[in-house]
Structure 1
């Protein structure tokens, strides 16, 4: 004999009332959201400190151009070889204060000579670098 539930009109319908369970679940969810600490997305930076100087010294600016033929120019003078570039960067790194290097690659130049200048500058300890000339890419 099989058990029949709710087969007749006079029998009570047997099912679980889920409304109180949903209410309890929503209250727990709200409590969980309230108790979670607020996440702050912060990036810690070492910002420079302003120290007023009575006689500010303007740094020397060295213009490094990379031509479309991948030739490197140091203030308009062609750099003969990689050793010559390294010698000039070593001299610049030894100066106090260090000169600012403004690297200006042509839009048709390849990446290799620009990467060479950047890598050698970083390896030798030059910290004042800037890439100039983005206006040539605006159309």
Structure 2
């Protein structure tokens, strides 16, 4: 047999429970956390490209292609001939932009060239309005 002794105050009242029930608080916090995660927009790092509309027609003639080779020391060559300075390169790019049917500009960087040299050529082409620009020979960077 057991005997209930009671509390030391001598009254018939039960002890007051001083512990806080945190289960409903945790449930509310989890619901709020899930709602916050759902409402946060997805961060996309994208670059806008002007892509040509799709076409099933074959071109009537082969496009004119100018090759810009950037050597390991930063030397720029336009269709196999060295370009003296950046102003001459911009003049050649301006001629490309001025043509009614804009030729393609293929940029071929050497594997050892610094990125700044390639970026300068690409930035100049974009600033002047070259629409048909491509990086060629990227398979050399796979190793």
Please classify the TM superposition score into its range, dividing by the shorter chain length.
Answer: 0.5 to 0.7
- Equivalent position of 1:73 in the other structure: 77
User: Which residue is 1:26 aligned to?
Assistant: 27
Runs (5+) with no aligned partner, structure 2: 1-6
Unaligned runs of 5+ in 1: 1-5
The alpha-carbon distance between structure 1 residues 97 and 33, as it changes in their structure 2 partners (threshold 3 A), is same
1:113 Cα shift? 3.1
Q: TM-score, normalised by structure 2?
A: 0.64
- TM-score, normalised relative to structure 1: 0.65
CA distance in 1, matches of 2:127, 2:86: 14
1: distance between equivalents of 2:87 and 2:54?
A: 38
Query: Of the candidates 111, 132, 136, which is equivalent to residue 132 of structure 1?
Result: 136
Asked whether 1:123 is paired with 2:127, we answer yes
Alignment of 1:14 onto 2:23 = no
Aligned residues: 132
Distance 1:134 1:47 in 2: 20
Q: Secondary structure at the match of 1:62?
A: strand
- Aligned CA RMSD, in angstroms, stands at 3.8
Whole-Å separation in 1 of the counterparts to 2:34 and 2:115: 50
Aligned partners of 1:11, 1:59: CA distance in 2, in Å?
Answer: 97
CA distance 1:100–1:15, shift in 2 (3 Å): same
Displacement after TM superposition at 1:23 (Å): 4.4
Deviates further, 108-117 or 65-74: 108-117
The 1:42/1:28 distance shift into structure 2, 3 A limit, reads: closer
User: Which stretch of structure 1 is more off in the superposition, 50-59 or 79-88?
Assistant: 50-59
